[in-house]
Every structure is written in C-alpha cells, then in structure tokens.
Amino acid sequence: TRLEQAKRKAKEHIESLRTRTGLGMDDRSDQAMVIAFDDHAKVLCNFTSDKRQLSAAVEAVRATDGGSSLAEAVAVARAFATSPGEDANNRSAAEAAELVLFSDGRIRDLDDVVAGPDELKFHRVGESSENVAVVAMQARRSYEQPDQVAVFAGLANCGGSPVNCEVQLSVDGHVRSVRPVRLPAWQGGRDKLGRPGQVSVSFSFPQPGSATVEVRLLTDDALPADNAAWAILPPPKKLSVLLVSAGNPALAAALGSCSLAGLDEVTSEQFRQ
C-alpha cells in the first residue's frame, strides 16, 4: 500500500541521519521528530537522535478514513523546531530545521501551505490514482412486506480507465449475493469540472429480524478503506391502526389479517369526541 511505501521511505531517511562518533568537538548527531496527520496533526515522537525510537514511531502510523490537511502539521513542526527542548542541544539554533514530507500528494490544503524548497522536502509515494468506492448506501424495508429488504448502493470510479469487478452483499457476515459490475472511467478532465464514473446497484432479500448489511467492492485499489459500506437494519415495526368507520366488516377483516401491533375501530362520532 501507499502507507507501507511511505513508511519504508521514512525509515530509510531515518537511517541516513548522522550519528555522533565522538571523534571531534564539532561532531553531532542529527535529530528528528515524527508527525502523522490526516484532518489533524499528531506528534508520535518528539525530537530525538534515537533511530530505533523514530522508526518505531513511523511503524505506529495507521491508515484512517479521514482526509489530509498539511497546514496544522507544518505549524506543529515549526513550533517544535524553534524550541526543541533539552534533547536537542546538539543542534545549533542557527541551523534551520528541514521538514520532510512523505505523501501521495493528495492533500486538500497543499496550495495554502507556504514553505520554501529549502524548508520542505516532498517525497511522493505512489503514482496511481486508480480508486473505486462505495459512495452511498441505503437499506430499507418494504411498507407492504416488512420482511422484504431493498438495498441501494452508489459506486464510483476515480480512475482514468473503466473497472470490471464484483460487488458483494453480506448480511451479518454471511454472503448473500455477488454480482459483476462495470464502473465507467472518470468523466472529463482532472479539474473541478470532471466527475467520477458512477453506477448504482440494488439488492432485494428477505430479512425478518435486525441485521448488519454490508456492500463491498471485491477489488484491489489505492484506498481499500472506501471499498465497503455498512448499514444497521432494525427489525420491522408493526403498525397500530385506528379504523374510523360506520361499520365496514370487510375492511376490518382485511386489516385484522395483517400483522399489526393493534387494531381499534371507532365510529365517526367517537372519533370527533
């Protein structure tokens, strides 16, 4: 995955840092800190020259379903770099800190971050933008037949080529249906006027009780986290019916044959009261 590539490159960078040899007065070791970010920045390791500690912090980074916002991470890094604390006394105050970024470049506020080329070094990981996703999902019961469930899902393809894959429906972890689907390619240019290729699928099945319903695209792409969506399906609700009638035995008998929580019958005069 791209995250694994980023971790590998970050660890290689850590191993390239200078280590103090103790052979000279000016001999000093490089120090670094580790900051992970999605919608917000999180410091995983403060300034240190301990390469094992830095590598362990990098390994602790986990994928999330959030977006990527760089501005906060840069602000945090700059704040720590200007006052790194006692552990950083080997680094000269006049020596400017260097920000090293490992990312696929899909950062929503990248244009808002002001940093010179000597301050921020960007290492891109992953070149492919191929990604499919379940972008919408709904599971609902039929009013006429509450035991029948209909599931609707919207699928999108953000890649430049059509994708043939399978979409799978599972109920409480048990596969109910698998069907092939073709997702059209991204429509238009890669600017704001373009849009992903989209297609909708639907499933219908009986489910008398509550359940967890999952729709999943069976494919490998750049972001596995958005290949599935879930919905909690509550048990069917029984209706309570109040029949206002001057006397309609046929209608009352028909309603009585339905699975209702309750059936009460009153006259028009009683209802007005």
pLDDT tens-digit readout, 138-161: 999 988 888 999 999 999 998 889
Mean pLDDT taken over the chain: 85
Asked if residues 167 and 216 have their Cβ atoms less than 8 Å apart, the reply is yes
Q: Which residues pair with 212 in a beta bridge?
A: 232
pLDDT tens-digit readout, 224-243: 889 999 999 999 887 788 88
For helices 51-59 and 2-15, give the axis angle rounded to 10 degrees.
170
Give ∠ CA 134-137-142 in degrees, rounded to 5. Answer: 150
pLDDT tens-digit readout, 46-60: 999 999 999 999 999
Which residues lie below 8 Å from residue 100, measured CB to CB, with a gap of 6+? 10, 13, 120, 121, 123
Q: Identify the pLDDT of residue 22.
A: 60
Asked if residues 157 and 163 have their Cβ atoms less than 8 Å apart, the reply is yes
Per-residue confidence in pLDDT tens, the chain, 273 aa:
778 889 999 999 999 998 876 655 555 788 999 999 998 999 999 999 999 999 999 999 998 877 788 899 999 998 888 764 544 445 544 467 889 999 877 787 877 787 777 788 888 887 656 789 999 999 999 888 889 999 999 999 988 899 999 999 999 999 999 999 999 998 875 544 568 899 999 999 999 999 999 999 999 887 888 999 999 999 988 778 888 888 788 888 888 887 777 888 888 888 887
HEC string of 141-165 equals ECCCCCCEEEEEEEEEECCCCCEEE
DSSP string for residues in 14-66? HHTS----SSSTT-----EEEEEESSSEEEEEEEE--HHHHHHHHHT----SS
Q: Which residues pair with 165 in a beta bridge?
A: 181
The pTM (predicted TM-score) of the whole model is 0.54
d(CA 227, CA 247): 56
Q: For the chain, what are the domain ranges?
A: 2-124, 132-233, 240-272
Q: Identify the pLDDT of residue 195.
A: 83
Q: Identify the pLDDT of residue 169.
A: 98
Q: Identify the pLDDT of residue 60.
A: 94
d(CA 167, CA 111): 36
Q: Which fold has domain 2-124?
A: Rossmann fold (3.40.50)
d(CA 7, CA 264): 67
In this structure, which CATH number among 3.40.50.300, 2.60.40.10, 3.30.1330.60, 1.10.15.40 belongs to the domain 132-233? 2.60.40.10
Residue 174 tokens read as: 């048990």
State which amino acid sits at residue 62: R
d(CA 159, CA 190): 10
From the list 115, 135, 240, 268, the residue with the least C-alpha distance to 198 is 135
